[in-house]
A and B are shown apart, each in its own frame.
Chain A
Amino acid sequence: MATYPEDCLYTREHEWIRVEDDVGVIGITDYAQEALGDIVYVELPSVGDHFSQGEPFGNVESVKAVSELYMPVSGEVVEINEDLAESPQLVNEDPYGDGWMVKITLSDPTELETLMSASEYEEYVKEERQKEK
């Protein structure tokens, strides 16, 4: 069953962000990794790249499909998870921990208010599952 850490905020596209000392850590949710299946490749941006909220910043490839990753909030990439190049399965094994993808400095922290809390996201996932064809 999917998990929803309380210290993260969530997007409708199933990314999470955890803000620690002005730096936002970003990854995809447990629900997302479960839906994608075994992840075989993660394409990440370069340090120094700027993205607006909602802009694609990379993509994640599973045995089934390639999906885009969307920025939860605007910002500049300050670090990427180099381990994912060799071990993309970290996203499956620990989506909220070792499977993190990028760290950014937020250019507009008020954008965080547009994201979902853990309980809101849990509700959203429930609805998504209902709709699932």
Chain B
Amino acid sequence: MTGAPCQVTRDEALIFERSRPGRTAYSLPPLDVPTVPLETWIESRFLRADQLAGLPEVSEVDVIRHFTRLSRWNYAVDLGMYPLGSCTMKYNPKVNERVARLEGFAQHHPLTPEELSQGSLEVLKMLEELLCEITGMAAGCLQPAAGAHGELTGLLLIRACLEARGDARQKVLIPDSAHGTNPASAAICGYRVQTIPSTERGLIDLEALRRAADSEVAALMLTNPNTLGLFEEAIEEIVRIVHEAGGLVYMDGANMNALVGIARPGDMGVDVIHLNIHKTFSTPHGGGGPGAGPVLVTSELEPFLPVPRIVRRPDGTLALDYDRPRSIGRVRAFYGNFGVLVRGLSYILTMGPEGLREVAETAVLNANYLAHQLKDTYEIAYPGPVMHEVVFSDKRQRAYGVRNVDIAKRLIDYGFHPPTMSFPLIVPGALMVEPTETEGREELDLFIAAMKAIDRECRENPELVRTAPHQTRLGRLDEVSAARRPVLRWRPEESNAPSGSLSEKRVASPEP
């Protein structure tokens, strides 16, 4: 080939840049009625002055090729391993998609009267009861749209409960290994956050917790297993300390994939927990959702749950109960992300109790297999048997001038999605890997081989790793400029001025 642009490798133009005046993806039959100006029927104040100028004018094949190309550049769990730690990017069984698309669910309008919604209400009721059984809690609310929303709902419940006790409090305790959403949720809920350090072993420091657990403590927010993939063995003592101080224990259930079917937070004394249906219970996530973050509580907190509650009437039918005077109110329009909840129920029912237990066992086994196979190659900051995920660091590779970000980018060249980076914050240069139960031995071995190959490259040709990825359509992006001077919107007037434009910052890379 000489000089001609290659269709497959070219930098895909935006749909706006493909626009050609007058081009359309439709053809209408000739007009057989008189033309009437829009203004005669619609008041001018309701009409847009710009006549929708600037929208792309493209043909059907332009649209199809553009979006099909983009979709093929995507990476998904249906293509390969997606080891993002703390995200539980497990495979989503297609039967769940099929169930969610059943007409009776997919077409059901949320304003349909109760008597015509019994099937959908039964789905929600059954899911709430199963989640209670799985977590050992008394009652729950399926409304929260995702995990952080579940955290906020859970903290609002704790606030309502403490105020009802006549003992409103000021602060929330959060370990330094926590997800960043925990302090954010506490702050939005009006609490002051106090950080509890971790011990040398990566577990919550009980002495520090005892010192912090005073009469101002509303709650401890605890992720268990924590973000280092370690089970907080002292959970019963932790709960006792917080309860004796008069506070409540909130469990972030993001890492429930390690426990499901084996241990129940309710039995450990937890007062509130949120689950991520889109993690533990297999519904799709990434790319912005939608998710579902149900909140489960003890019987003491049950009166404060959001409305409506789904209740069973004496005749066995289900109803939406809004008459809950102590409720914190609604937290979401309608009843949550219903389609996601249907998928979650389908997953739980098709897996069954033994299947769910096997999920946790396999997820933990897979993480330990990776930890064992890679421990001589990559530093593990907090060694010890891990649960569902393992946190490596770039400590040994730093000697060759290679950082975690470089290793993560190089993994793309080997066909893997990068792991979670630089988190938890207490591990400098963290690479947090969660294989989930999805991956079989062969896939795990490929990942191990790739990680070992990258380590060799760090020693023999660090520049190769520092400049990765090399096998992608776009090379290393300038993330610093993107964060310092984000270009969030394409504007036609700027597209003709390449200086400082997005495309100038892209680094071209040869097709393999």
Contacts and interface: CB of A to CB of B under 8 A. Distances in A.
A133 B421 CA distance: 15
Given A64-B421, A65-B422, A66-B180, A133 B483 contact: no
B462 interface: no
B422 A64 contact: yes
A41 B486 CA distance: 12
Contacts of B393: 133
Going nearest first, the 5 A-B pairs with the smallest beta carbon separation are A133-B381, A40-B483, A64-B422, A38-B480, A40-B484
B386 interface: no
Interface in A37-56: 38, 40-41
Interface string B388-409: 0000010100000000000000
Given A38-B483, A132-B428, 18 more contacts: A35-B428, A38-B480, A40-B480, A40-B484, A41-B484, A63-B480, A64-B421, A64-B422, A65-B423, A65-B425, A88-B484, A89-B484, A132-B395, A133-B379, A133-B382, A133-B395, A133-B426, A133-B428
Contacts of B422: 64-65
B479 interface: yes
Contacts of A40: 480, 483-484
B427 A133 contact: yes
Contacts of B425: 65
28 contacts: A35-B428, A38-B480, A38-B483, A40-B480, A40-B483, A40-B484, A41-B483, A41-B484, A61-B483, A63-B479, A63-B480, A63-B483, A64-B421, A64-B422, A65-B422, A65-B423, A65-B425, A66-B180, A89-B484, A132-B395, A132-B428, A133-B379, A133-B381, A133-B382, A133-B395, A133-B426, A133-B427, A133-B428
Interface in B297-339: none
Contacts of B483: 38, 40-41, 61, 63
A64 B426 CA distance: 12
B240 to A, nearest CB: 29
Nearest to B391: A133
B202 to A, nearest CB: 9
Interface string B481-500: 00110000000000000000
Which residue of B382, B421, B484 has the most chain A CB atoms within 10 A of its CB atom?
B484
Contacts of A89: 484
A28 B382 CA distance: 28
Contacts of B480: 38, 40, 63
A66 B381 CA distance: 21
Interface of A: 35, 38, 40-41, 61, 63-66, 88-89, 132-133
Interface residues of B, number: 17
A132 B381 CA distance: 9
Interface in B354-413: 379, 381-382, 393, 395
B180 to A, nearest CB: 7
A132 to B, nearest CB: 6
B82 to A, nearest CB: 21
Nearest to A92: B480
Contacts of A132: 395, 428
Contacts of A133: 379, 381-382, 393, 395, 426-428
Contacts of A35: 428
Interface string B7-28: 0000000000000000000000
B220 to A, nearest CB: 20
Contacts of B427: 133
A58 B409 CA distance: 31
A121 to B, nearest CB: 19
Nearest to B381: A133
B372 to A, nearest CB: 19
Contacts of A64: 421-422
Nearest to A129: B428
A66 B483 CA distance: 13
Contacts of B428: 35, 132-133
Nearest to B404: A64
Nearest to A35: B428
Contacts of B382: 133
